[in-house]
Amino acid sequence: MNITVVGLGKIGLPLAVQFADSGQHVRGADINPAVVEAVNAGTEPFPGEAHLAEKLAACVGDGRLSATTDTRQAVSESDAVVVVVPLFVDADGVPDFGWMENATREIAAGLRPGTLVSYETTLPVGTTRERWKPMLEEGSGLTEGVDFHLVFSPERVLTGRVFADLRKYPKLIGGLSGQGAARAKDFYEAVLQFDDRPDLPRGNGVWDLGSAEAAEMAKLAETTYRDVNIGLANQFGRFAASRGIDVYQVIEASNSQPYSHIHRPGIAVGGHCIPVYPRLYLWNDPTATVVRAAREANADMPAYTVGLAAGAYGGDLSGARVVVLGAAYRGGVKETAFSGVFPTVEALRAQGAEVFVHDPMYSDDELGRFGFAPYALGTDVDVAIVQADHAEYRDLSASDLPGVQVVVDGRRLLDPARFDGVQFRTVGKA
């Protein structure tokens, strides 16, 4: 097959490489010339994705993968088009379809009869049928279900482990017609390989959910569940701490029963998915009070954690030198999308603290571009707050933070025994 992947970001590029590695001819289309140039040179444009560098070099080297800024031309030569263009959400939870609409117009202009188009970007329910179908038909002059087929198939992977996740999780599809779903099933079975999963009710592989709307909702449901579960864990943690209870023991005990799957509390919920997709769900279903309450509870955790630090320090952080450990939204990933570092720093500055940020994955110049004052381990500091669970922090001790009087562990990562004589707090524990 000739395949075009539109959008060569942290999900789209590994997908393009996966398809090429499965023996197909793949064109990657992206509006960023620097990304296109790097891909055509066989060089990963961003670090941190396991096995991407070697797989990309091999696929480009033998001619199975190339990149272009001309989406229209690439689509005109394709049997299948996979779309992984970002969808943004504003502070009020309103989706901004701008980038996706621009990409869809280019796809429509190059669309030819017989092509399968699959959107993998997470979408509000109904978007594939109500927004993309009319745009593709109008821009191409073709009829969906007759001249071309349109499906939704959500990406279900985490950056840093995309190739492993592609094998591990069923590939969900939902078509606008039975024939389109059949085409999508054949397509994904040709380009993906699946691990054996005897724990699944129907085995690992491509799962047809019967409609694009069901597939759209499945992705929103699985990520919203996580946000709601974390919100519940955070509320449990705050209550337990107020009563002198170790919530982690409570969660471990509760989860020993097979119907309980409580997540862990923490300083923040970050990344491209969990803070965003519940808002997409709420855009469809504004009456979902449980979802809204969880989102609000999670958004409040950075300020709550700063409050723990202030309380342990004497109630006032004005003038205190405070370091936030971790700019990334999670450990081991060089990505700050919706990271808890931003509201944490904001809350500290609001209390008058002198704030610094450290992250082993970012240079001082990179931290400075975020508006942060960089911190070097071994420099005097009064308070430290762990925001990201980087492995490099696991063995930190008081000697790495000279003068530190208060440590608040927002990820339950540190060993309190290494901080003898220091006021040590863990989110969720008294």
Q: Tens digits of per-residue pLDDT, 147-164?
A: 999 999 999 999 889 999
Q: Mean pLDDT across the chain, nearest whole number?
A: 96
Question: DSSP letter at 67?
Answer: E
Band of residue 133 on the pLDDT scale cut at 50, 70, 90: very high
Band of residue 88 on the pLDDT scale cut at 50, 70, 90: confident
Strand 171-175 and strand 149-152: pairing?
antiparallel
Q: According to the model, what pLDDT value does residue 91 have?
A: 73
Single out the catalytic residue among 55, 171, 185, 273.
273
Single out the catalytic residue among 168, 219, 334, 429.
219
Question: Can you read off the two tokens belonging to residue 198?
Answer: 């005897």
Q: According to the model, what pLDDT value does residue 429 have?
A: 85
> Could you tell me the domains of the chain?
2-210 (3.40.50.720), 220-299 (1.10.1040.10), 301-426 (3.40.50.720)
Q: According to the model, what pLDDT value does residue 48 have?
A: 85
Q: According to the model, what pLDDT value does residue 244 have?
A: 93
Residue-wise pLDDT tens digits, 5-61? 999 999 999 999 999 999 999 999 999 999 999 999 999 999 889 999 999 999 999
Annotated active-site residue 219? The verdict is: yes
Dist CA 35 CA 163 (whole Å) = 20
Contact 173, 181 (CB under 8 A): yes
Dist CA 174 CA 153 (whole Å) = 6
- Rounded to 5 degrees, φ, ψ at 322 are -120, 130
Band of residue 92 on the pLDDT scale cut at 50, 70, 90: confident
- List the one residue out of 170, 281, 132, 273 whose CA is nearest residue 217: 281
Averaged over 361-369, what is the pLDDT? 97
Q: According to the model, what pLDDT value does residue 104 have?
A: 98
pLDDT exceeds 80 at position 288: yes
- Kindly give, in sequence order, each residue whose CB lies less than 8 Å from that of residue 152, ignoring residues fewer than 6 positions away: 118, 119, 120, 123, 128, 173, 174, 212, 215, 216
- List the one residue out of 279, 396, 52 whose CA is nearest residue 44: 52
* Angle formed by the axes of helices 247-254 and 212-242, nearest 10°: 130
Annotated active-site residue 133? The verdict is: no
Contact 151, 116 (CB under 8 A): yes
- List the one residue out of 155, 84, 154, 142 whose CA is nearest residue 115: 142
Band of residue 421 on the pLDDT scale cut at 50, 70, 90: very high
Q: According to the model, what pLDDT value does residue 164 have?
A: 98
Amino acid letter, 289: T
pLDDT exceeds 90 at position 90: no
Residue-wise pLDDT tens digits, 197-240? 999 999 999 999 999 999 999 999 999 999 999 999 999 999 99
Question: Can you read off the two tokens belonging to residue 386?
Answer: 């762990």
Contact 173, 237 (CB under 8 A): no
* Angle formed by the axes of helices 289-299 and 212-242, nearest 10°: 50
